[in-house]
Amino acid sequence: MTLDNGRKLLAIPGPSVVPDRVLNAMHQPSPNIYYGPLKEMIEGMIPDLKQLAGTTGDVVFYITNGHGTWEAALSNTVAAGEKVLVLGTGPFALGWGAVAQTLGIEIEVIDFGKQSSVDIAQVETRLLADKNNDIKAILVVQTDTSTSVRNDISALGQAIRATGHPALYMVDCMASLGTEPHFMDEWLVDVMVSGCQKGLMVPAGMGFVFLNNRAHAARREMDRVSYYWDWAPRVAPEMLYQRFAGTPPTHHLMGLREALDMILIEEGLENVWTRHRVFAQAIWAAVDSWGSAGRMWLNIKEPDKRSFAVTSITTSHFDGGKIRDWCENVAGVTLGIGLGMADAKSPEFENYFRIGHMGHMNVPMILGTLGTIDAALKALDIPHGAGALEAANHVIATASR
């Protein structure tokens, strides 16, 4: 039977739940795209996005998803035949590397696997050995949305610069912008890419590239950059039209304005980060309780290396897909698949599921998701430890005092 009525809950790690307020803000007649309120709204949004990223550098908008921002960042800075160093902590940095290859860029991968963060000492050793400075850029994710590992972007940035190597430090914050702290300038990041569909709570379709002066200098060295990805005209456009290399994504921008107000003015960025941390800790406590029966565990063992936006769970001797199916079809909660954790055609693919807890989430949404998983474990007769909801509640209650 199904018990699914009421509002469905999307608990995947992006796209995330879009607040009604954001949807309503998008529900407007098409505006003038050359002058007037839309232009003013966009100009006002730029400092807000930079505040979110912790930078005094520039931000460029693209009508694209995350993959497009990967291509944009590379197209402006690394020429075909040059080399980038990819720091793999799951499929997303590796995916960025794959995009680089399609641009004719040589990639060198240090793969840290799917349960670990970047080992900074290995990166230092590799950079110190690169006497000719062949490596033009280093690609890494802050949060890998698949493995749910979080890399220490600050420590890595300090280490890279301490080697004296000039490679650009490029960081993917697709899942971490607006969900966990990021201080681009302080952490010595040169290029940061992100999108609107996770922490920023807007339907997918808009990407951002943040860049500093070192990134501008790399762009100037490029012989040729394709019209669409070239960030130079977008940074200082004569007309709004040029900021987007054509028609702006008018309604996405209206939604983003509303979301930025919610994040920066109403809740406050520090609170947003704290809320994400508390929800993540509540989820970890619940999974640890279920896992005491030996059938499931958090993919990332060390708490300080876990994302605050997504939690990846490994299952043993039962099919994680069955939990997802029960939650979606019986209860109306959609959980994440084990994307990139195993080959989609292999039985191992079903040994994972993920909980997305980013963006527009509150206590009932988190506890509702955990309660639904708890019911699924019982309905499917999957052995699990008791007290998961109590453990999660304890985290939330303690944090709220």
The helix (H) or strand (E) run that includes residue 126 is helix 120-129
Stretch that binds ligand PLP, among 63-71, 237-245, 288-296, 361-369 (CB under 6 A): 63-71
Task: Show the site string, 264-283: x = touches ligand PLP by CB under 6 A, - = not.
Answer: --------------------
Is 255:74 a contact under the CB 8 Å cutoff?
A: no
Q: Kindly tell me which of 73 and 215 has the beta carbon lying closer to ligand PLP.
A: 73
Stretch that binds ligand PLP, among 21-29, 169-177, 301-309, 393-401 (CB under 6 A): 169-177
> Among the residues of 250-291, which ranges form H helices?
250-260, 269-291
Q: Kindly tell me which of 14 and 359 has the beta carbon lying closer to ligand PLP.
A: 14
Q: Binder to ligand PLP among 52, 71, 73, 92 (CB under 6 A)? A: 92
Q: Binder to ligand PLP among 73, 141, 254, 341 (CB under 6 A)? A: 141
What's the CA gap between 307 and 149, in Å, rounded?
A: 6
Alpha-carbon distance values, 66 to 61, 157, 231, 298, 364 (Å) = 12, 22, 16, 26, 29
- Residues in region 8-37 near ligand PLP by CB under 6 A: 14
Q: Binder to ligand PLP among 39, 50, 67, 219 (CB under 6 A)? A: 67
Token pair 């302080």 is found at 186
Stretch that binds ligand PLP, among 59-67, 103-111, 271-279, 313-321 (CB under 6 A): 59-67
Number of residues that bind ligand PLP (CB under 6 A): 13
Least separation in angstroms between CB 318 and ligand PLP: 26
Instruction: Judge residue 224's burial from the number of C-beta atoms within 10 Å of its C-beta, 0-12 exposed, 13-18 middle, 19 or more buried.
Output: exposed
Task: Show the site string, 203-232: x = touches ligand PLP by CB under 6 A, - = not.
Answer: -x----------------------------
Least separation in angstroms between CB 276 and ligand PLP: 15
What is the token pair recorded at 258?
């509303």
Q: Kindly tell me which of 60 and 367 has the beta carbon lying closer to ligand PLP.
A: 60
Is 175:309 a contact under the CB 8 Å cutoff?
A: yes
What's the CA gap between 127 and 110, in Å, rounded?
A: 12
What is the token pair recorded at 161?
């610069």
Is 204:217 a contact under the CB 8 Å cutoff?
A: no
Q: What are the beta bridge partners of residue 46? A: none
Q: By CB under 6 A, tell whether 327 contacts ligand PLP.
A: no
Question: Which positions touch ligand PLP (CB under 6 A)?
Answer: 14, 65-67, 92, 141, 144-145, 172, 174-175, 195, 204
